[in-house]
Structures are given as C-alpha cells and as structure tokens.
Amino acid sequence: MHYGKIEKSIGYVFKNKELLKTALTHTSYANAHGVESNEKLEFLGDSILEFVTSKYLYNEYKDLKEGEMTKVRATVVCEESLYKIAVRHGFREFLITGRGEKITGEVKNKAILADSIEAVIAAMYLDSGLEPVEKFIISNLDKTIKLESKHVGIKDYKTVLQEKLQENGNVKIQYEIISEKGPDHDKQFVAQVLCNDKILAKGRGKSKKKAEMEAAKFALKGME
C-alpha cells in the first residue's frame, strides 16, 4: 500500500514504512493473517499523548489549576476527540481491518479509528523521536484545548443553583419536563425546577437539558 496520501495529511514522512503499516493494522486483520497488530503501539501512544498534552497545558496555560488541567486533558484526549482527528486525516481509507469491521469498505467503529491515532503517534515517536509527535498532537488539539480551557472553570447554572440551595443543608431539587411541542427536528421543551416540591422557575429549550439549564438560570435570577 502506498502511504503518501496519509503522510501528507499528517505532515510526517516515515523512514520505516513498516511502523506505519503496523500502526494501521487492527487485531481483526492481524489475528486472521498472522501479522502484528497495532495494540502495543496504541499502548505506548496513549502514554505519549497524555505526556505531550500535559506538558503543553503546563507550559502554555499557567493560570489553570492542577484539577482544571486534568479535566481539560481528559476532554481533549477522549475517544470522540481522537476519532475526529482520524476522520480529518482520512484514516478510514488506510486502516487494515477484518471484513467484520467495515461497512461498504469503510471502518465503522469509532474506537478503532480513535485507537489508530494513538498507534500512529507511537510509530512516529519510534521513527523519529518526540519532536514530530509534539507537532502533530498540538496542531490537532490546540484549538480544542483552547476552547476547553476557557470553560473548565465555569460552573453551569444547575451546579451553581444546587450549591446555593444547599448552603444551609440538604434540600430536594427536582427538574421536570412539563411540555414538549413541535416536530422531531424542531422540538421545544419546557422544564421546571423545584426545591422541596416548590416551583422556583421554568425554562425553555430545544433539548431537555437546555430547558433545565434555562430553568436553573431563571431560578438564580429570582434569588438575586
């Protein structure tokens, strides 16, 4: 297989193409054909990814506390985040998997795609050390890190309301969806928040979660 396209996309040309091939070989194919899978590379890549992200957060986000850095890191190195990187770089086209993992020729499993990013990171590290790895990781995650770092210290309205209501001891806080209108693609929900069975406020939103958040927001305004 020719890897020029994927190398161009990730911005790195492998000296040892076998490393890249192994990084893209899933166990479903490896077990059936007696070749090495990307599992061990994935294990190493997971640690490298955490280290590089931690180092970047430590150096670039001096105002974040330890707990906040942990939250940001957990968000940006999660399966969903890595899956998006794999899709962005066209990994679906190059992953070597068994037939059961494909639909119409494309890899169907998000976890397989996410894991392949960790494996390629390890392969890159073994091929050329940490420098190209850091460049690849940060170029793909810096926007997400920036976004998450802005929100990590901000508590949502439901959390703030709960803390305020429980300042003088435990109380019973409930959220109820009292109505929903509109077609499936354009639903409008109305939620109410209650404290010890007393209605505090109501809120509207295009999802149940947003309606509950609006109810908490109006309850907080009513307490000011």
Whole-angstrom Cα distance, residue 194 to residue 172? 8
Q: Pick the catalytic residue: 42, 118, 134, 212?
A: 118
156: tokens are 């949502």
Residue 203's nearest CA partner among 161, 150, 153 is 161
- 42 and 50 in contact (C-beta within 8 Å)? no
Q: In the annotation, is 224 catalytic?
A: no
| Closest to 37 in 3D by CA, of 25, 48, 53 | 25
46, 115, 148, 212: which one is catalytic? 46
Tokens 């970047």, residue located: 56
Catalytic, 214? Answer no
- Write out the catalytic residue numbers: 46, 118
